[in-house]
Amino acid sequence: MIQTTIATTIDSQAYAPKLAYRIAMSQPQTHLFEVTLIVSHWDGEILDIKMPVWTPGSYLVREYAKQIQNLVAVSATGRKLGVRKVAKNHWQIQTNDSSKISISYQVFANELTVRTNHLDATHGYFNPAALCFYVPEFENCPIELRIIPPNPDWQVTTPLPQIGHQTFLADDFDTLVDSPFEIGTQRIYDFTVLDIPHQLVVWGEGNLAPHSAIEDIKKIVEVEANIFGGLPYEKYIFLLHLSPASGGGLEHKNCCSLLYPRFNFQGAEKHNRFMQLVAHEFFHLWNVKRIRPAALEKFDYDRENYTPSLWFSEGTTSYYDLVIPRRAGVYDDREFLAELSKEITRFLTTPGRLVQPLSESSFDAWIKLYRPDANSSNSQMSYYLKGEMVTLLLDLLIRDRTQGAKSFDDVLVTMWEQFGKAEIGFTEIQLKQIIESIADRDLTEFYDRYIHGIEELPFNEYLAPFGIELQPVEASMPYLGINVKTEHGKEAIKSVAAHSPAQLAGIDPGDELLAIDGYKITADKLNDRLKSYQPGQEISVSFFHADRLMSVSIVLATPQPQQYQLRSIEQPDKRQHQLFKAWAGGD
């Protein structure tokens, strides 16, 4: 009888099996990877195998096991072995004393993101966490992978070392998970930075100018290396997928996966956005891949790994993905302030900033950030975005208090020296102590107000020493409080701001907007129509609510700023000029 708990009869310290994967894709158009896990030198009656439920860098239980089908286990003689599923991601195999077990299964792969798998007639891409089992108690064993492409002209790109023909070796399961695979006819561009080889690997078609992009990527690599005193790897791969519309990135120790809209490379603004993505994921090779919270020092692939410090791991990285391109000369100080203004605008137009504390946002990433709903903007705050804002304030604070002698760079370098090089997880208290040591100030009140609390961030107080002020752009229309989008010929109300006139009148997300004062209204005309009214004026709004025709009277409120801009104050003094130049690099 197959047991329902993990077998413990094997001494994992004195014994280790040999693990090897064969990964084929004989009919890629079916989106099915054909995977075989071969476990040799096994000495036990029960073999437990588990599929991770998440992958590091993307803090959501994604249930990768849901894509597995046709799992079969056989002995060395080809005898079929008993298999029992005992949990959503956990199988047990009755080995019948066989020392070699082959487990074959298929994985459906038709989701092109940086954290899942994608297979079609043009290429195969997989994240090992979404494709490969681990054997509990033997996560530290080396794992061999042999790739069997469907066509002889398909090549394999991965950060893992190659040990044979299309055969690769991972030191352990953590290393395997940290090593995505691209298989196909991808274009590979080699370049060198600081005498270390790099590659830009591109799948898909678009308007990317690779050689021009590589020149800016080189600058970004050099600037980030300069912060930390060198590059902590022997080779690095930028793996870029060109997609129809979506974007994203996922960091790894020796590579990153980038997803970017195929025609969004031309023009300064689009190019800058791509370089910010590159700067963000590359910065992660230090911050989070090596400098990581104690809760992520050893990954538990079975469940959520909670930490209140993602604001530092992701938010600080988001701040630097704006700073790094400026330092690299990708854009100038005016463009830098414009980009930062956009981020501050996003923050100050999110009602949830006054509801969810930053540390709670980090802790609740698993149930909130990656699962937005119509009320998310009212009740949640992204630890990426507010973490970016808090890092901005801390950087300005340190620069001001030290007369420009230190910056948040010094926090990162200290974290690298104390925790990153040895890959020792840091605690929330240790992070705070290091920031305080660099700022030469007790930050308990700062933490209580802006990290553990929900007080408004005092941007202008921290910007003033730099000769910069944040100003709202005057809104030109009274405030209603709805976000409308045309979908399938209907005007869908996507969100309703908390405490807005629309919410107080009973309008809900999911309602269909029909008319204002008896005249049809569409999403693209809504703002223009509202401009014809005055604050305090009453309007009639008609809409469908759960298929029922409704009309309500709404009193429009005072205009709410929808945009904020960073601007230079008049006649900044010498100190303000010097601090600004050291921070933003310009006049």
pLDDT of 10 over the 80 cut? no
Q: Which domain holds residue 242?
A: 187-271
Is 492 in the same domain as 444? no
In a domain, 410, yes or no: yes
Amino acid at 543: F
Kindly give the pairing relationship between strand 143-148 and strand 196-203: unpaired
pLDDT of 12 over the 60 cut? no
pLDDT of residue 474: 87
pLDDT of residue 447: 98
Could you tell me what percentage of the chain is helix, strand and coil, using 3-state DSSP and rounding each to the nearest 5? Answer: 30, 30, 40
Domains of the chain: total: 4
In a domain, 285, yes or no: no
Model confidence pLDDT, tens digit, residues 162-210: 999 999 999 999 999 999 999 999 999 999 999 999 999 999 999 999 9
Is 265 in the same domain as 377? no
Angle between helices 333-348 and 574-584 (to 10 degrees): 90
pTM for this structure? 0.94
pLDDT of residue 3: 40
Residue 585: pLDDT band by 50, 70, 90 thresholds?
confident
Give the Cβ contact number of residue 474 at 10 Å: 9
Report, as an integer, the average pLDDT of 379-390.
98
pLDDT of 245 over the 60 cut? yes
Measured CA to CA, the distance from residue 114 to residue 127 in angstroms comes to 8
pLDDT of 11 over the 60 cut? no
Report, as an integer, the average pLDDT of 28-48.
97
pLDDT of 374 over the 70 cut? yes
Is 437 in the same domain as 490? no
pLDDT of residue 261: 97
Identify the CA nearest to 206 among candidates 187, 180, 183. Answer: 187
Poorest-pLDDT segment among 242-246, 269-273, 543-547, 575-579: 242-246
Model confidence pLDDT, tens digit, residues 423-480: 999 999 999 999 999 999 999 999 999 999 999 999 999 999 999 999 999 888 999 9
pLDDT of residue 63: 97
Model confidence pLDDT, tens digit, residues 467-497: 999 999 988 899 999 999 999 999 999 999 9
Is 261 in the same domain as 314? no
Model confidence pLDDT, tens digit, residues 283-339: 999 999 999 999 999 999 999 999 999 999 999 999 999 999 999 999 999 999 999
DSSP H stretches of helix in 55-201: 173-177
DSSP lists the bridge partners of residue 102 as 38, 74
Here the CATH number for the domain that contains residue 33 is 2.60.40.3650
Angle at 191 between CA 189 and CA 193, to 5 degrees: 150
Angle at 167 between CA 165 and CA 168, to 5 degrees: 140
pLDDT of residue 6: 41
Is 259 in the same domain as 313? no
Is 119 in the same domain as 51? yes
Those residues with Cβ within 8 angstroms of residue 26's Cβ, 6 or more apart along the chain or in another chain = 34, 148, 150
pLDDT of residue 14: 54
In a domain, 1, yes or no: no
Give the Cβ contact number of residue 453 at 10 Å: 13
pLDDT of residue 587: 59
pLDDT of residue 97: 86
